[in-house]
Amino acid sequence: MSAPVDYTNDIRSISALDNFMSINNAVDVDLFGQVNAESAGIKHISGAGGQLDFVLGAYLSKGGKSFICCSSTFKGKDGSLQSRIVPTLNPGSIVTDTRANIHYLVTEFGKVNLKGLTTWQKCEAIISVAHPDFRDQLIAEAEKMHIWKKSNKR
């Protein structure tokens, strides 16, 4: 069956399918749960391609799940190891998926369910799947941003 994009990417069509699964990639994710899947700062590297439609459709589907998957790190142009999980998105980065709509975040260090979490709970969960070499730095930045409470300090 061939169908137009205004049907295939319609959140109502997607969410009407029980147990719908959506798997998408991210360039980086911030500690609030915002996902950038389109740019490296102001350098545009991809389009949205319906990602938000499928994230929302799966999120709203009965039994559905949406997964944002990425490696926890990448090598910068200078060869240094850098985290894909960042305190805040870089200036000019595009927010592809909003923090309120992210269900699961997956890295090689695990999977966390972010659905319905508070800002503080979400921050802790996101840091838990960051590369271990960056966790202390991310916690320090979260403390500066007042999204890391004593109740969730390790």
pLDDT exceeds cutoff 60 at 153: no
User: In the prediction, which pLDDT does 151 show?
Assistant: 62
Residue 139 lies in a domain: yes
Cα distances from 17 to residues 11, 61, 66, 113, 128, in angstroms, run 10, 6, 13, 21, 31
Confirm whether 104 is domain-assigned.
Answer: yes
What would the pLDDT profile of 32-82 be if each residue is shown by its tens digit?
999 999 999 899 998 888 999 999 999 999 999 999 999 999 999 999 999
pTM confidence score: 0.92
Whether residue 152 is contained in a domain is answered as: no
pLDDT of residue 3: 86
- Is residue 125 within 8 A of residue 32, CB to CB? The reply is no
| Total domains in the fold of the chain | 1
How sure is the predictor about 6, in pLDDT bands with cuts at 50, 70 and 90? confident
Check residue 150 and give its pLDDT: 64
CATH code for the domain in which residue 22 is found: 3.40.1080.20
